[in-house]
Structure 1
Amino acid sequence: MYVPRFSAVALTVFALLATSSQSAVAARKKHKAPASLVERNAMRGTPFSTSDEAMQWAAEMAQRREVDAGWVQRTLGEAQLLPTVARLMQPAPAGTPKNWRVYRSRFIDPIRINAGVKFWQENAALLERAEREYGVPADIIVGIIGVETIYGQQMGTFRVIDALATLGFNFPPSHPRAAERQAYFRSELEQFLLLQYKAGTDPFKALGSYAGAMGMPQFMPSSWAKWAVDFDGDGRIDLSRSTADVIGSVANYFRSYGWQSGMPTHFAVDFNAATLDKEALLAPDILPTFSVKSFTEKGAVLSGQALEHQGKLALVELQNGAAEPQYVAGTENFYVITRYNWSSYYAMAVIELGREVKEALPAR
């Protein structure tokens, strides 16, 4: 979520794509993470109470957020360094080819499709209500939850506070964007502590991904704070056990990012070799930039409903290793899905899983 709320599953398939975060250069000058895995393993289980930097940050965070400093320092002090989490955050080796067919096969499979059918049948009324109130189709919501956690079957086994503290104070220094990524995870740690403090819940019971994402939709703490909703009306938000809250929160997330009801996510696209300027079409990446007119003038060939599209389009390239890439014309709604996880491969997996589940539903 993600990041954007960040998908734990997608993170392990491809390195997480560009995410906005604040600079942490000053913080890194004060504290350097161990440079080697050997040193990290030697620190396995080390509580953050031994880190002067973490304790000072806790005091500053408590003052900034006007919460009990003793509680913040005690809580963070009991969090533990997890070398495995730091290792999992290393980016894929340079030159690792992307392969849409392989990526797709990890998510569009009988296990997820069957689980999705069951989830849809059990929550049909909630999905209809969410689509009615937020304008987000049921198949997109179902696709997200299926890709993220197989409908709650795999929500993560790491203590969220350990994962966020590790990445906030010991992010791998060899990572090409270590400073900004560390700053991002510190901000997520702050949001997590604030959420737990205000709710009066035990911060050590929350489990999630190695990136700190939580619940069926794998919301990061900032996403939880901004977009999670009490869709079942019981006075609390539970993204682990309340499918109503999960469905409503995912729909609210998409609406907040500009989902347009009734707009397709993408169209088929072909090319006119005589006029094709693929470099220009790919230059904006997945950001919808072109009108239908400018898109086709650069050699993209559309047909049917696509020619009537009033919004902007992007040429989305899905690489297939050494084989020929696949292409689609992504709409603004396709781009909205990538706000959940900044990857066109992820967005297509969500779309296609939702479609497969919908087609597998028994006829009514």
Structure 2
Amino acid sequence: MAASSPKHTKSKPARHAVKPALPEGTAYGDRADVMRLADDIAQRRNLDAEWVRSTLSKARMLPSVVRAITPPAVGTPKNWALYRSRFVEPIRIRAGVKFWLANQETLARAEAQTGVPASIIVGIIGVETIYGQQLGNYRVIDALTTLALDFPDAHPRKTDRQAYFLSELEAYLSLTQRTGTDPTALRGSYAGAMGWPQFMPSSWVKYGIDFDNDSRVDLFHSQADVIGSVANYFQAFKWKPGMPTHYPVQFEVARLDMPTLMAPDILPTFSPAAMQEKGVILPAAALNHPGPLALVELQNGADAPTYVAGTENFYAITRYNWSSYYAMAVIDLGQAVAQALQAQTGVPK
């Protein structure tokens, strides 16, 4: 899940009338422009041209990927309560307790080395794949090639997103060639995210670490590597040990300057004092917070939104997936697992 290569939300967007260039499953090897692209990638990435050509010729165009990446229609209401219920639920909590018990020493080591709480690591892996239960069924080569070459015209950010997926395709080819992995064998999400933590290829290269000391990074089979890599990701994005992720808030309606407070979105911008001056009532613990805060809005459909004051650590979680809803789900699931584990073992987490 990088600043330049964010993780992708797992919610399923509404379907649109998208007309892909090729029918389902058509091989890309029949297109001359793809073979020219293969030669270009090989030259820029210092890869064997015949190997890249052969690999891309085996990739297949998947309209289902095109549909999945197309965003919901403008105006589709967001609903935090509904979103949360998909992730903070009994199946994930039970699986999280089992995962935590099986990896207590590794989680403790990762937390000690990086300062990233075990609950955040556990929350990420639970939201992403239910602790390895749902790794994705798309061939990664198909997903990345489809998005690099047939990104939907309906997407409002087609140009930069298509360029992003082309760079991820290149990173994937480089990674599999370097590690001697069959590039047609790996499966992941519709966006090409892989393994228990659903890292994009560039994130695997940048942030994946060998945490079990077997001289390789394996995010499909090594739970130690998964834990260490997630912690390493957040450390790279400047996780601040000991800092809360957010604080509850209330409002002084007469002084509330909502337009100013919401203008930076989720980027921490305001000191506690500045936030209070604009009508936000903070709890005592937040008044001495050492860094900037952001007013985070979580819409609840037709009901009133939920608001929190997000810290720099809340923002760090959104670098894994650029969504405040995602970040809060990670936090809440991790806390729910920790509470269930304490209830089961009697040991605080």
| TM-score, structure 1 normalization | 0.91
What is the aligned partner in structure 1 of residue 286 from structure 2?
Answer: 306
What is the aligned partner in structure 2 of residue 208 from structure 1?
Answer: 188
> Quick check: 2:20–2:66 contact (8 Å CA) kept in 1?
no
Amino acid at match of 1:7: H
Instruction: Please give the residue correspondences for 1:109-188 in structure 2 after superposition, counting only pairs within 5 Å.
Output: 109-188=89-168
Residue 154 (structure 1) shift:
0.2
Partners of 1:154 and 1:197 in 2: how far apart? Answer: 25
Partners of 1:170 and 1:123 in 2: how far apart? Answer: 41
> Quick check: 1:13–1:103 contact (8 Å CA) kept in 2?
no
Amino acid at match of 1:354: G
> Quick check: 2:210–2:217 contact (8 Å CA) kept in 1?
yes
1:246 aligns with 2:226: yes
In structure 2, do the counterparts of structure 1 residues 39 and 342 end up closer, same or farther at CA, with 3 Å as the change threshold?
A: closer
Specify which of 235, 242, 245 is matched with residue 215 of structure 2.
Answer: 235
What is the aligned partner in structure 2 of residue 320 from structure 1?
Answer: 300
Partners of 1:8 and 1:49 in 2: how far apart? Answer: 30
Residue 5 (structure 1) shift:
3.5
What is the aligned partner in structure 2 of residue 32 from structure 1?
Answer: none
In structure 2, do the counterparts of structure 1 residues 246 and 305 end up closer, same or farther at CA, with 3 Å as the change threshold?
A: same
> Quick check: 1:161–1:189 contact (8 Å CA) kept in 2?
yes
1:69 aligns with 2:70: no
What is the aligned partner in structure 2 of residue 282 from structure 1?
Answer: 262
Partners of 1:254 and 1:84 in 2: how far apart? Answer: 31
Local SS of the residue matching 2:270:
coil
Partners of 1:260 and 1:330 in 2: how far apart? Answer: 13
1:94 aligns with 2:95: no
Specify which of 327, 339, 346 is matched with residue 359 of structure 1.
Answer: 339
Question: Equivalent pairs: percent with the same residue?
Answer: 58
Moved over 4 A (4+): 35-40
Partners of 1:236 and 1:207 in 2: how far apart? Answer: 19
Q: Deviations over 1:214-234 (max 9, x none)?
A: 000000001001000000000
> Quick check: 1:5–1:213 contact (8 Å CA) kept in 2?
no
Local SS of the residue matching 2:254:
coil
Residue 38 (structure 1) shift:
5.7
In structure 2, do the counterparts of structure 1 residues 38 and 294 end up closer, same or farther at CA, with 3 Å as the change threshold?
A: closer
Q: Deviations over 1:290-337 (max 9, x none)?
A: 011111111111122111101000000000011000100000000000
Q: Deviations over 1:274-299 (max 9, x none)?
A: 21111111110000000111111111
Specify which of 170, 190, 197 is matched with residue 217 of structure 1.
Answer: 197
Partners of 1:217 and 1:5 in 2: how far apart? Answer: 13
Residue 53 (structure 1) shift:
1.8
Local SS of the residue matching 1:201:
coil
In structure 2, do the counterparts of structure 1 residues 322 and 268 end up closer, same or farther at CA, with 3 Å as the change threshold?
A: same
Amino acid at match of 2:247: F
What is the aligned partner in structure 2 of residue 4 from structure 1?
Answer: 5
Partners of 1:37 and 1:157 in 2: how far apart? Answer: 22
Partners of 1:58 and 1:119 in 2: how far apart? Answer: 41
Residue 4 (structure 1) shift:
3.4
1:103 aligns with 2:83: yes
| TM-score, structure 2 normalization | 0.95
Partners of 1:39 and 1:313 in 2: how far apart? Answer: 43
What is the aligned partner in structure 1 of residue 328 from structure 2?
Answer: 348
Ranges in structure 2 where 5+ consecutive residues have no aligned partner: none
Partners of 1:304 and 1:174 in 2: how far apart? Answer: 47
Q: Deviations over 1:131-178 (max 9, x none)?
A: 000110000000000000000000000000000000000011121111
Residue 14 (structure 1) shift:
8.8
> Quick check: 2:66–2:152 contact (8 Å CA) kept in 1?
yes
Partners of 1:332 and 1:193 in 2: how far apart? Answer: 34
CA RMSD in angstroms, aligned pairs only = 1.6
> Quick check: 2:119–2:338 contact (8 Å CA) kept in 1?
yes
Residue 36 (structure 1) shift:
6.7
> Quick check: 1:270–1:302 contact (8 Å CA) kept in 2?
yes
Instruction: Please give the residue correspondences for 1:260-271 in structure 2 after superposition, counting only pairs within 5 Å.
Output: 260-271=240-251
Ranges in structure 1 where 5+ consecutive residues have no aligned partner: 16-34
Partners of 1:260 and 1:14 in 2: how far apart? Answer: 37
Q: Deviations over 1:232-265 (max 9, x none)?
A: 0001111011000000000000000010000000
State the number of aligned residues: 343
Local SS of the residue matching 2:309:
strand
In structure 2, do the counterparts of structure 1 residues 8 and 50 end up closer, same or farther at CA, with 3 Å as the change threshold?
A: farther
Local SS of the residue matching 1:274:
helix
Amino acid at match of 1:319: Q
